[in-house]
Structure 1
Amino acid sequence: MTKRGGWLIIRVDFRYCLGGGVFGFAGVFTGDDVYLFAFHSLYFKTLFLGKFEESEKSEIELKDIGSWDFQNFLDLIYGEAFVDDDTVMGILKLADMYDSKTARFRCQDFLIEHSSRSLNEKFQLSLQFKLDGLKKKFLSEVKTYNDLRYVIPSNHSDLDTSVWEELFLKSMDLLLEKERKFGV
């Protein structure tokens, strides 16, 4: 990795988030930062340490991400910040985009343990970002048919067959529980 003077400049172009304004954010990172990024993200590992043209550049531009989301993502992998209901979505998007298991796990843990989001929102996030632990927790918290009905989207094709299977099995569990309770 040959970076100018041991430094790497990452430019974040966030025109996408600001409606076409010509704005940008540049962060200057040391070689240690590059290795930290690579440790926490398969994307950055490939980008910085792989056999790609970018691994030799001293400046890299990241497009179509928000500087606020990127800062929250960086704070999270540096261990300086915690996820909250305001930051979780942006961090999850970047964790998904940059294949960061650490950020993904921390977001999932927050959603399971501390988030005030509704069951429906948590379920949708579990599907969108493939958070299996959150999906399992969600299914364990569904106690009634109304809970189950609440999360089923109006467009049934939005769910794949494996999710339908899990929802069906949960509905069967609820039915059996009702039969045991009322002796039906």
Structure 2
Amino acid sequence: MYDAKLEIQKCEEFLMESSEKTLKEYLKLAHRYKLRNLKNKCLSKITTASDIRSVLSHDTNEMDPSVVGALLQKSLTLIP
């Protein structure tokens, strides 16, 4: 297998700075390709209940468990 760390890093930087996908699409890519920085950037942009709803899949089993946990924690901070 090839060591493509630099190429992966460049792709991740492009996704974080230049691409125009939805947060849900970014989180799917971050999970599929293990892009931790992209995942963290997406999670930092989620600040409202509407944002949380927009990234949730109908089947949470398809989602990265750490993202589901982070979304649950964020949702708890939104409860008055």
Q: Same fold (TM over 0.5)?
A: yes
Q: Equivalent residue for 2:35?
A: 131
Q: What code does the residue aligned with 2:44 have?
A: S
Q: Is the radius of gyration larger for structure 1 or structure 2?
A: 1
The question of whether the paired residues in 1 share the 8 Å contact of 2:29 and 2:35 is answered with: yes
Counting strand residues as a fraction of each chain, which structure ranks higher?
A: 1
What secondary structure is seen at the aligned counterpart in 2 of 1:154? Answer: coil
Normalised by the length of structure 1, the TM-score is 0.40
Structure 2: tracts of 5 or more residues without a match: none
For residues 161 and 125 of structure 1, the distance between their equivalents in structure 2, rounded to whole angstroms, comes to: 14
Structure 1 position 144 matched with structure 2 position 48: yes
SS in 2 for 1:110: helix
Q: Percent identity?
A: 35
TM-score (norm 2): 0.84
CA contact (8 A) 2:60 2:68 kept: no
Question: How many pairs does the alignment contain?
Answer: 80
How far the C-alpha of 1:160 sits from its partner, in A, is 4.3
The match for 1:121 among 25, 39, 44 is: 25
How big is the shift at 1:119? 1.3
Whichever residue aligns with residue 40 of structure 2, its letter is K
The Cα offsets for residues 48-106 of structure 1, whole Å up to 9 and x where unpaired, read as: xxxxxxxxxxxxxxxxxxxxxxxxxxxxxxxxxxxxxxxxxxxxxxxxxxx41111110
What are the superposed Cα offsets for residues 131-156 of structure 1, whole Å, 9 maximum, x if unpaired? 11001100111121111111111112
- 1:139 and 1:170 in contact (8 A); partners too: no
Q: Note the residue ranges of structure 1 that are not aligned, 5 or more in a row.
A: 1-42, 45-98, 180-184
- Measure, in 2, the Cα distance between the counterparts of 1:164 and 1:139: 10
Contact 2:49 2:75 survives alignment (8 Å): yes
Q: Return the structure number with greater relative CO, CA threshold 8 A, min gap 6.
A: 2
Tell me the amino acid that sits aligned with residue 10 of structure 2.
R
Corresponding residue number in structure 2 for 1:170: 74
SS across alignment from 2:19: coil
